[in-house]
Structure 1
């Protein structure tokens, strides 16, 4: 097996036998795969606490306290109800403060998005190879377009599959099947790149797609119990090593 040296680790060059010519499409998750979404959310939480702390001295300055509400699983990961609960449990809720906190959250979350290193040049290279590129995300279409526009990546992608387009969220297979139908590609001709084992890697493999685990963006390391992916990306640009591009 041919290998290449990178960071003192051998990376197999023919894993999954994915090569230009047989690979026709790459389906990318968006948040924490193309850019650091968690970091942006934490900044947004910090700005919310700064706002409500101006009139409430006892408010914690630790953004992880508010961020923890988004992790509970009571509502969706992006649901404003998490902010409502935080305010109500501290007896700080008013319609005005809630509305303002939601505005701060959306503004700061978007403004603080930063691409991971190597994303733009890697996508440039993939486009040069004629590979079709798609986004498959659990965000709704409006938010997905806003984020891609903010980081100036919108023009790179041939297709966007968002939650409000399919009526489902990953790991439901419909996100992946929708993309394959729209692009006219077969599972064996396609690769999924994502940061979640459960929501990206496992459903994609069940459908017969190749999988690249974006470990650099996975903030849930406990998920990785078994090797449920074809290969691991330690950086976004590692993708080029595996594709021999």
Structure 2
């Protein structure tokens, strides 16, 4: 079946934010004299972080609510809004241009707050490439629930079998699998995660471009044979 839409996670797929965002998170925990372990840092990837934060505060004996913590964290700024290092992952824009030329719709589905995602996309001059943007504060159920992806599919008028989803984390991949789309495990970010549950693996966007060109060649051959 022909691909009608490609849907992207944001963190680790559109921009390599995960290391930078963690630094802002650690600054917030420093205010409560909490140092995160490597496992705790990685647990935030692909999530909105609320459950992990509640557990970390509780284990440290800090009587601060998750809401209070994130209010304090917001005062410190964010990688999406403030970091001079924010940039698209290499090759992304060329891939997006290819999809536009092929009239394939595009969307972003992220667990991150909408304000941060929109700000980051504007800073990188990418927002005009996307036909749908669904963020964590726009859905009732976040990843690994497929709600965000299913909602995006409605906006781009494509069924699950007509969609390819790019994700870099096990949580995101599970959401994409639950949405019953073709799932690509993307390995182009600094933090390499388990993508074994994905249907395909792309190391770079150059590989994504080659894949689409190869798929086109097979489709054209099949049409000539028919």
TM-score, normalised to structure 2, is: 0.72
Q: Report SS of the residue matched to 2:24.
A: helix
1:233 alignment counterpart: 202
Question: Counterparts of 1:139 and 1:100 in 2: how far apart (Å)?
Answer: 17
1:187 alignment counterpart: 160
1:129 alignment counterpart: 102
Alignment equivalent of 1:204, drawn from 176, 187, 191 = 176
CA separation of 1:136/1:98 partners in 2, compared to 1, >3 Å: closer, same or farther? closer
Larger Rg: 1
Q: Report SS of the residue matched to 1:217.
A: coil
CA separation of 1:101/1:44 partners in 2, compared to 1, >3 Å: closer, same or farther? same
2:82 alignment counterpart: 111
How many residues end up aligned between the 2 structures? 207
Question: Counterparts of 2:133 and 2:91 in 1: how far apart (Å)?
Answer: 21
Cα deviation, 1:155-209, whole Å, max 9, x if unaligned, reads 1100111222221111112112111222211212111011123322x34334431
Q: 1:39-78 counterparts in 2 under 5 A? A: 39-45=19-25, 68=40, 71=43, 76-77=48-49
Alignment equivalent of 2:16, drawn from 25, 29, 36 = 36
Alpha carbons 2:106, 2:156 under 8 Å: kept:
no
**Matching of residue 25 in structure 1 with residue 5 in structure 2:** yes
Moved more, 35-44 or 131-140: 35-44
1:3 alignment counterpart: none
TM-score, normalised to structure 1, is: 0.67
RMSD: 3.9
1:7 alignment counterpart: none
Show structure 2 runs of 5+ residues with no match. 64-68, 217-226
Alpha carbons 1:30, 1:135 under 8 Å: kept:
yes
Q: CA deviation at 1:34?
A: 0.9
Question: Counterparts of 1:133 and 1:157 in 2: how far apart (Å)?
Answer: 5
